[in-house]
Structure 1
Amino acid sequence: MKIVTINDVAREAGVSISTVSRVINNRPDVGKSTRQKVLSAVEKLGYIKNTSAASLKQHQTDFVAVVLRGRRNIFLTDLAERILDIGKEKRLRFLTEIIDEKADEFETVRRLYRERKLAGVIFLGSKLEGHEKEAEELEIPCVFSSIEAKFLNGKHISSVSIDNFSAGREVTDRLIELGHRKIALLGYFGSVSDSTGLRFYGAKESMEKHGIAFDEQLYEECDFTLPSSYAAMSRLLKRREDFTAVFASSDIIAIGATKALSDRGYTVPGDVSVVGFDGTEQADYCIPSLATMRQPSEQMAHMSVELLLEGMQGKEGRHVLLPPKWIESESIRKL
């Protein structure tokens, strides 16, 4: 569903924009038949009046939406804070929405657009699978931060992320170099439109390269929360106990998994090595401190704002990949 503007209503009704404006503002200087044509077009297109437009002197404001999908994702909340701080230095005014992982971020943006004509939007943790057309039809500058979106069509779309596939492959390469061949995966696989889910496809490629068959019995799906990761690790331990390493698709998943291992008498890294992903502050304060693949959150935040400003200036969108950094810490050991 695209954002419906007053121009669309005017085109549908075959009248001028000023006529539509007079009708939706209940002005009396419009004929009955013309008024009915406009109201029919409003109903057909699903147009909702921009409630703040009457007080604005310009068509668009400089309000920018930041929509974070995933209330308990500590990497994304930290990234959002960095984006807000950097954006304020650029004199951007933000409308921030934090929504549940199952909520529709595109409907959120359409609502915000109707309430306040947005100059652009930054998405964090967006789920693009099945929503490609909605993203392409938004018609305002869009930046997908932490999600690679180069497969989308639209000059108004930019993205900044790491190469999650290559990063997942590198994590697994490093575990194999330490002698681990029974590696459990905790998190989820995703499609090309969900770049976070590509981390485990990179892990599978690494295994195949080293002659290790991927064992589905050593994979457990979970979301990015402590209770979910703790439960997933517990299920895996009931099924298999022969793995020597765990690759978790986020630090928070790794922390939950480590707690589950400890509660069942396993030591990290003595019995099981554990690797996370994201490089959050929490990873440094775990006991033991967590080995992880660190995403460059500060650089990612700066680039998110830069790409948004470029889009607001009418420039064509770009898709940027930044290099992550491997952090070897106390939660892994050589066999």
Structure 2
Amino acid sequence: MTIRDIARESGYAIGTVSRVLNNSPNVSAAARTRIMDVVRRHNFQPNVNAKHLKLQSSFGIAIIIKGIQNMLFTGILEHMQSLVEAHGYVCMPYYIDEEANEVEQAMLICQERKPHGIVFLGSNLDHFSDDLAGLGVPCVLVTNSAASLDLPNLSSVSVDDAVAAASMIEFLYAQGHRRIGLIGSNPGISRPSFARLAGCQQTFLRLNLPFDPSKQYAYARYSMESGYAAMEWLLKHCPDLTAVFALSDLMAVGALRALKDHGLRVPEDISVAGYDGIELGRYCIPSLTTIRQNTDRLASRGIEILLHCIEENSSAVHEIVPFELLQRESVGLAHS
């Protein structure tokens, strides 16, 4: 008798059986009674104890995180881990380079660990294909929309990056800024950067603002160090900028330091805005104006959707989460 046998005989999902065996409160009385009847009838005894059962690798949810320095993902991951464990599963995080192929990693994980579901934090949609559908495992992409892929086992929860980025350009424009530089990842490999850049470019065009990507868009990885280098590149190639919009807060923090080191004041000489809303931005000097992604909502909906797909064989869901533009000290009126 195994946990799978109990699930089959009781008529409940494996996850529900695990929650009963681990004394989780997130189970209905009817389910608990039915499952425990099966357990007692077969005198089922988990190996050592229920905790040991929970830790079996074949009973986990894998979370693949792209990039090791992305503080936005750190907050989402922490919330997801608590939710996964509260529902009787074990969380298996895997960190990969931000330029690595996350679907290849998922295939390896399925071969070695046989998880019940996979969460992708960060992604390059070019990597997603029918190979993912062939895994037969429910997946959810968080912080990026997978609606356009139409893969039957891939759900997604995200902010509308293009709309959010456009709102920041509109805000900078309202503050009088007409020469705006951008710092972001390579849009060819980062779908969020692609969508955010598209939102910015559409708004530049609509507002009749000049934008030469060869001079006003600096490439960076998701790190403060890379944001620092990108800001220096912008100062060299487009010294008349009055504002910079970094497509992640970590890049923006690096840009703030670079400007300080070059003797420029923020926001008196140049304004800086970020994207993500990580806690670090609150404590910068000046505090960082940014687009805040609701990490609690992204995490909770991502796990809820995945569990419905695992336990109830639900269809893929694609959900958009609202964002918030936080007006702080790092953006001021454009200088004349």
Query: Could you tell me whether the CA contact under 8 Å between 2:119 and 2:140 is conserved in 1?
Result: yes
Structure 1 residues without counterparts, runs of 5 or longer = 1-55
Deviations 1:158-213 (A, max 9, x none): 00000000001000000001100000001136369813421111111111111113
TM-score scaled by length of structure 1: 0.79
Change (3 A) 1:301 1:130: closer
Deviations 1:220-260 (A, max 9, x none): 11111111111111111122210100000000000001111
Structure 2 residues without counterparts, runs of 5 or longer = 1-52
- State the match for 2:131 in structure 1: 134
Aligned partners of 2:224, 2:81: CA distance in 1, in Å?
Answer: 26
Matched, 1:310 2:298: no
Change (3 A) 1:192 1:222: closer
Aligned residues: 278
* Superposition pairs of residues 43-122 of structure 1, within 5 angstroms: 61-122=58-119
Aligned partners of 2:127, 2:96: CA distance in 1, in Å?
Answer: 18
- State the match for 2:225 in structure 1: 227
* Aligned-partner SS, 2:62: strand
Query: Residue type of the partner of 2:248?
Result: S
Matched, 1:177 2:174: yes
Matched, 1:269 2:267: yes
Query: Could you tell me whether the CA contact under 8 Å between 2:101 and 2:127 is conserved in 1?
Result: no
Deviations 1:290-316 (A, max 9, x none): 000000000110001011011102000
Q: 252, 255, 258: which is aligned to 1:257?
A: 255
Query: Could you tell me whether the CA contact under 8 Å between 2:157 and 2:302 is conserved in 1?
Result: yes
Q: Which of structure 1's runs of 4+ aligned residues deviate more than 6 A?
A: none
Aligned CA-pair RMSD: 1.9
Q: 211, 215, 238: which is aligned to 2:212?
A: 215
* Superposition pairs of residues 289-328 of structure 1, within 5 angstroms: 289-312=287-310, 313-328=312-327
Aligned partners of 1:257, 1:137: CA distance in 2, in Å?
Answer: 43
Query: Could you tell me whether the CA contact under 8 Å between 1:143 and 1:158 is conserved in 2?
Result: yes
- State the match for 1:201 in structure 2: 198
Query: Could you tell me whether the CA contact under 8 Å between 1:65 and 1:120 is conserved in 2?
Result: yes
Aligned partners of 2:129, 2:87: CA distance in 1, in Å?
Answer: 30
- State the match for 1:157 in structure 2: 154
Deviations 1:105-164 (A, max 9, x none): 222222221222211100101222243333333321000011110111222110000000
TM-score scaled by length of structure 2: 0.79
Change (3 A) 1:103 1:130: closer
* Superposition pairs of residues 243-254 of structure 1, within 5 angstroms: 243-254=241-252
Query: Percent identity at matched positions?
Result: 34
Query: Could you tell me whether the CA contact under 8 Å between 1:149 and 1:193 is conserved in 2?
Result: no
Query: Could you tell me whether the CA contact under 8 Å between 1:75 and 1:280 is conserved in 2?
Result: yes
Matched, 1:167 2:164: yes
Query: Residue type of the partner of 1:146?
Result: T
- State the match for 1:331 in structure 2: 330
